[in-house]
């Protein structure tokens, strides 16, 4: 079995420990600057219904909800002019569990009016100061007002990975980075994780072994990421953290054939349910693995992302960023004939392949590519 290791190259960077702590549950949280549609290079498309939790997603028993106010109270505030932007506050349910950052009517939330975005990186992203993909992530999270939570659950070297990204984010102007190390389901359901995620403007899932991320699926952390994504949170993942974002994630697989035995999959976080993501794509020759995965489930769009390359998902559209190519495999209208044995090759024809360099756009719902305004190769 081949495991996708965290692909950060070079000498590890060691940052000084930060003193940022999760805010007191009774105190206000600064929501950070709003991220308007015009604030990035992406055209900024509205978040569609397809961003909701996928069908069949497991949910925690204490499912999160938002406070609802009586219409008359809100109308009174509007009439009297007392309706104003107030800071976001984490809160607790009657059992004392911290819920995701909730938004009372009249309270501003991070990126209010702007959907959350997913920056899905193929691994081995440039981590130098001024690096394009990580710089874009910090920009989307609020620049020097960003509060980033780094989830190091996938890596076997969490201290080194934390120090590396902390130093890079600091040089890019974001000096409030906290590590969230979820060792198992109990950690993923704990109040500490909920408090940190409620305070964040951005969440970054590191690379490593994606099988370690299965314990997050259906957890309280998974629920919070879904709810906060809908209200403006920016979530990024690289390598293992990238493939975990789909409803189904690729766990392992290799070989030259398109066959059932060439890929092993499992449930993912469902943050972008229509995509099945593979990483280190061109560098590790993973087209057979991706085609095997979509042949087994043609409803998914397979997206293979090269190293130092990313797709930025906003609603039902993504834009390609970085130095490589995103490969999209669409087998929905293909003919698929499965052999008797898992190791025997699958018959697959009329599959559509799209090779998309930086600046290209792809409409997930319509399954159509296009040349975006940032495409500068022609």
- Exposed / middle / buried, residue 48 (Cβ in 10 Å: 0-12, 13-18, 19+): middle
Query: What positions carry a catalytic annotation?
Result: 239, 280, 307
Three-class SS of 329-351: EECCCCEEECCCCCCCCCEEECC
Distance CA 266, CA 178 (A): 28
Burial of 37 (0-12, 13-18, 19+ CB in 10 A): middle
d(CA 319, CA 183): 33
Alpha-carbon span 261 to 29, nearest angstrom:
49
d(CA 294, CA 330): 8
Closest CA to 311 of 231, 210, 254, 235: 235
Give the DSSP H/E element, type plus range, for residue 2. none
**336 forms bridges with which residues in the sheet?**
348
Report CA-CA distances (Å) from 163 to 13, 66, 197, 296: 6, 35, 20, 39
CB 260 within 8 A of CB 338: yes
User: What value, to the nearest 5°, has the Cα angle with vertex 260 and ends 259 and 261?
Assistant: 90
Q: Is the dihedral of CA 366, 371, 375, 378 positive or negative?
A: positive
């Amino acid at each position: 079995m081949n495991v996708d290791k965290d692909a950060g190259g070079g000498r590890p960077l060691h940052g000084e420990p930060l003193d940022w702590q999760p805010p007191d549950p009774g105190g206000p949280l600064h929501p950070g600057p709003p991220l308007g549609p015009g604030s990035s290079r992406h055209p900024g498309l509205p978040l569609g219904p397809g961003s909701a939790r996928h069908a069949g997603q497991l949910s925690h028993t204490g499912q999160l909800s938002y406070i609802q106010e009586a219409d008359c109270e809100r109308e009174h505030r509007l009439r009297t002019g007392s309706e104003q932007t107030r800071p976001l506050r984490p809160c607790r349910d009657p059992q004392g569990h911290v819920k995701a950052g909730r938004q009372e009517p009249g309270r501003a939330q991070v990126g209010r009016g702007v959907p959350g975005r997913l920056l899905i990186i193929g691994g081995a992203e440039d981590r130098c100061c001024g690096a394009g993909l990580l710089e874009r992530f910090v920009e989307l999270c609020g620049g020097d007002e960003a509060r980033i939570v780094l989830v190091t659950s996938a890596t076997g070297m969490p201290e080194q990975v934390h120090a590396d990204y902390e130093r890079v984010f600091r040089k890019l102007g974001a000096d409030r980075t906290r590590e969230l190390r979820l060792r198992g389901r109990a950690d993923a359901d704990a109040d500490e994780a909920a408090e940190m995620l409620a305070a964040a403007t951005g969440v970054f899932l590191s690379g490593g072994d994606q099988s370690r991320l299965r314990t997050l699926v259906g957890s309280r952390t998974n629920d919070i990421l879904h709810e906060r994504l809908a209200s403006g949170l920016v979530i990024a993942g690289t390598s293992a953290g990238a493939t975990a974002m789909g409803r189904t994630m690729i766990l392992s697989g290799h070989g030259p054939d398109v066959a059932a035995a060439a890929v092993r999959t499992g449930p993912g976080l469902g943050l972008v349910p229509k995509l099945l993501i593979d990483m280190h794509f061109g560098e590790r020759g993973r087209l057979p693995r991706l085609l095997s995965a979509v042949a087994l489930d043609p409803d998914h769009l397979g997206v293979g992302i090269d190293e130092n390359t990313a797709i930025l998902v906003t609603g039902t559209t993504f834009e390609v960023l970085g130095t490589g190519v995103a490969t999209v495999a669409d087998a929905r209208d293909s003919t698929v004939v499965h052999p008797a044995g898992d190791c025997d090759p699958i018959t697959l024809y009329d599959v559509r392949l799209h090779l998309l360099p930086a600046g290209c756009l792809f409409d997930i719902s319509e399954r159509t590519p296009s040349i975006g305004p940032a495409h500068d190769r022609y």
